[in-house]
Amino acid sequence: MKAPIQVASAAPAPEAPIVVNGLTKRFGHFTAVDNISFSVSSGEVFGWLGPNGAGKTTTIRMLLGLMRPTSGSARVLGFNPATQTKAMQAKVGYMSQIFTLYNDLTARENIRFYGRVYGLSQEEVKQRQAEIIHMAGLEGRENTLTRDLSGGWKQRLALGCAIVHRPQVVFLDEPTAGVDPNSRREFWGLIYAMSKKGVTVLVTTHYMDEAELCQRVGFISQGKLVAIDSPAKLKQTQMRGQVLEIHSPTPDLVMRALQNARQAKAIPLDEVALYGAQIHAVVPDARQYIKSIQRLFESENIQATSIEWIAPTLEDVFISSVTRPADPAQNNGVLRETVTGVSK
Amino acid sequence: MEIAIFATDLVKTFRTRKGPLNAVDGLSLEVGRGETYGLLGPDGAGKTTTTRVILGLLTRTAGKSSILGFDSMHDTYAIRERVGYIAQQFVLPADLTVIENMRFFASVQGMSPEMQEKRIPELLSFAGLSDFTRRLAGQLSGGMKKKLALACSLIHEPQVVMLDEPTLGVDPVSRREFWNLLGNLRAEKGVTIFVCTPYMDEAERCNRVGLIYSGRLIASDSPAAIKRQVKGHLLELRPGRFVPAQAAVTGLPGVLEVQTYGDKLHLFVDNVAQRRPQIAAALAAQDISHDEIREVEVRMEEAYISLVHRREQAGPEERKAA
């Protein structure tokens, strides 16, 4: 085995492909993106998550050079998206949730069209056509009209068109909405195939199980970056409270008792919700409040088969991070106050 | 169990340019009173058509279906009185305020002004919309629109509500809020809830779910029981070289199925203790590095993919018998 080559005092470490520094965007008095800083490293699959209206898309628009920041800066592949838009866009791919494919063109024609738009030569287009058809598993469907392709095919074709010019950074905005689980799996296979080749991927999604597939995720809420880490780490560090799962032959009685206790502030319950035949309750401290809940059930003569402290899902963590606890007196499992009031 | 929603051998055939298409193809299901039942499947699996046929909005080609004992095709009026429905493309009048929308739907249902006085504030409070009564429906966020639609569908105090993809395109926070409302509705009023959804994780919110694929149910049971139907234990690993690793483990003895999961592989095996070292050895033989091989829990998504996959592998005869 060769000894690793020591590179002493070589060039400074190359800048990360996406670097965001104090990025801010205001629309009048409304701050859509509020002083956000993060970076994404080369070949990383980074999830960008937040409720609607939180500033996700505004951030992506600024990174794509479609919108200028009010203050702060962004650098994509060393370019300033606001001023070096053209040069940057030649190396960046973008796929939006509405696949921008031409329905009356065939799969092959769509690829050719996008190849020409990106200024590829005839030769390159030919080569890329074959590669993308193969990558997207579209063999045998090259000449099918796009409108006749099912959701999963269309989605992979849209990705193929977005990367026809071999971008080094790819932005995917909710790319898998409405696609069946199998196709979603295949799509994520493609994302990781790109990442293995060093392509950096920033992806937004409403599917929390997809967020689990990202190497790192950032949560944005009301314009602010509230958490950023690997999904596993976020589950350890970001959950406000602990989740209890309660099994009972009479879940409706359990729900009523816990909601009353919540409203009366007898037990500090962050959330009480029915999950199938079980109830999930979020409390500040599992050990302590399992006992309080047991006492409550005894006094109200409610049967519970078990009360277990369970691991939070990424969705639990996400909701905990992006919401403030609602006022228990307000009732009804409404999780947030301020966010709901924001209109676009 | 008292039955609220019933369908047996239900078929709905559409005539298309390419010939007849069975959007619903011999589907049977039963939903008990007070249950929350989820019909889970991707776009085009037949969820919407099934719902509409059961509601009597589409005529069935064959089979039987009923709600609360009323036949879908013959007792449509009785069904309308007792069932709330939110269609997928349901659009509330955008130029009416929240409260005007509620009044509009109440009038359509023939509710007296006195009843409206009482019922509408209750429902607005239930849906968490009490502070937004004067806002135009067109200016509500996506999540709030869905809540308003739910409140409108409940105005006549239905015993059954059927919801077609109510959380599609809604962000996770609003999705959680919406499901909490449905949970409260079930706990407080015992309403039977039938929900179509493409989100596999929403299964956990239901007492029972049906997995629909090509117009048929491939499983119908409690979420826990469906996950148990998938044979084998699930192992997860992240290989250094993905494609060669996938090839190396596929077909190993005791490896029942290989699924890809981002940059990880999911392997269903018959025996964890026995197969784990064998898988490690097969990868080592080809010089493929990997992290720890862990056993992970089967989620509804793995179950769905697996059940579809195994069904497609089965011969057409078996498929018919299943």
Cβ neighbours around A152 below 10 Å, total: 22
Give the residue from B73, B166, B75, B91 showing the smallest Cα distance to B127: B166
* Strand-strand pairing, A200-204 and A45-49: parallel
Contact B261 A188 (CB under 8 A): yes
At residue A185, the pLDDT reads 87
pLDDT at B207: 94
- Choose, out of B135, B171, B193, the residue to mutate when testing the contact with A (most A CBs < 10 Å): B171
Dihedral-angle region of residue B246 (phi above 0 means left; psi in -120 to 50 means alpha; beta otherwise): alpha
State yes or no: pLDDT of B44 exceeds 50: yes
Task: State how far residue A161 is from chain B, nearest Cα, in angstroms.
Answer: 21
**Check: complex ipTM more than 0.85:** no
pLDDT at B16: 85
Give the mutation candidate from A182, A196, A320 for the B interface (greatest B CB count, under 10 A): A182
- What pLDDT was estimated at residue B322? 43
Angle (CA) A295-A301-A304 rounded to 5° is 70
Contact: B305, A206; criterion CB under 8 Å = no
| End-to-end CA separation in angstroms for chain B | 25
Query: Per residue, what are the HEC states of A74-143?
Result: EEECCECCCCCHHHHHCCEEEECCCCCCCCCCEHHHHHHHHHHHCCCCHHHHHHHHHHHHHHCCCCCCCC
- Looking at residue B199, what is its pLDDT? 86
Which comes out higher in pLDDT, residue B220 or A148?
B220
For residues B266-292, average pLDDT: 95
Put simply, the answer to whether A276 touches B205 (Cβ < 8 Å) is: yes
* Segments of chain A scoring below 70 in pLDDT: 1-13, 99, 178, 324-344
B207 touches chain A (CB under 8 A): yes
Supply the pLDDT for residue A3.
52
**A182 contact residues in B (CB cutoff 8 A):** 42, 305, 308-309
Q: What is the CA radius of gyration of chain B?
A: 23
**pLDDT tens digits for A214-239?**
999 999 999 999 999 999 999 988 88
> B49: Cβ–Cβ under 8 A, 6 or more apart, which residues?
B12, B23, B24, B58, B215
CB A289 within 8 A of CB A267: yes
Which residues face B3 on adjacent strands? B32
**What's residue B319's pLDDT?**
47
Cα gap B222→A276, rounded to integer Å:
8
pLDDT of residue A240: 85
Q: How do beta strands B160-164 and A278-283 pair?
A: unpaired
Give the pLDDT confidence of B14-39 residue by residue, as tens digits. Answer: 998 888 999 999 999 999 999 999 99
Q: How far apart are alpha carbons B224 and B228 in whole angstroms?
A: 6
Distance CA B269, CA A234 (A): 30
Instruction: Give the pLDDT confidence score for residue B1 in this predicted structure.
Output: 77
Q: Rounded to a whole number, what is the distance in Å from the CA of A291 to chain B's nearest CA?
A: 23
CA of B255: how far to CAs of B123, B126, B261, B274, in Å?
53, 50, 16, 11
Q: What angle do CA B245, A142, A147 make, to 5 degrees?
A: 110
Tell me whether residues B305 and A333 touch, CB distance under 8 A: no
Distance of alpha carbon A51 from alpha carbon A42, whole angstroms: 27
Instruction: Kindly report, residue by residue over B81-133, the tens digit of the pLDDT.
Output: 999 999 987 788 899 999 999 999 999 888 899 999 999 999 999 999 999 99
Cβ proximity of A251 and A279 under 8 Å: yes
pLDDT attached to residue B316: 55
The two tokens of residue B238 are: 């992240």
- Spacing of C-alpha B304 from chain mean position: 12
Q: Are residues A89 and A64 in contact, defined by beta-carbon separation less than 8 angstroms?
A: yes
Q: What is the pLDDT of residue A53?
A: 85
Question: Across residues B4-17, what is the average pLDDT?
Answer: 95
What pLDDT, on a 0 to 100 scale, did the predictor assign at position A341?
Answer: 33
Q: Which residues contact B130 (CB under 8 A, 6 or more apart)?
A: B121, B124
Q: What phi and psi, each to the nearest 5 degrees, are found at residue A117? A: -60, -40
Tokens read off for B3: 């039955």
CA distance B191 to B36: 8
Give the single-character DSSP code of A243: E
Chain A, 274 to 293: residues with Cβ < 8 Å from chain B are 274-277
- Evaluate whether A253 touches A304 at the Cβ level (below 8 Å): no
Residue B276 has pLDDT above 90, yes or no: yes
Query: Residue A331 and residue B190: Cβ atoms within 8 Å?
Result: no
Model pLDDT, residue A222 = 92
Q: 163-202 in A: which are within 8 Å (CB) of B?
A: 177-183, 185-186, 188-189, 191-193, 195-196
The strands making up A30-40's β-sheet, listed across from edge to edge, are: A30-40, A18-27, A71-76
Q: How far apart are CA B147 and CA B145, in angstroms?
A: 5
Strand residue runs (E) in B17-134: 19-32, 36-40, 62-67, 70-71, 83-86
Predicted confidence at residue A12, as pLDDT, reads 62
pLDDT for position A40: 97
Amino acid at A209: D
pTM over 0.90: no
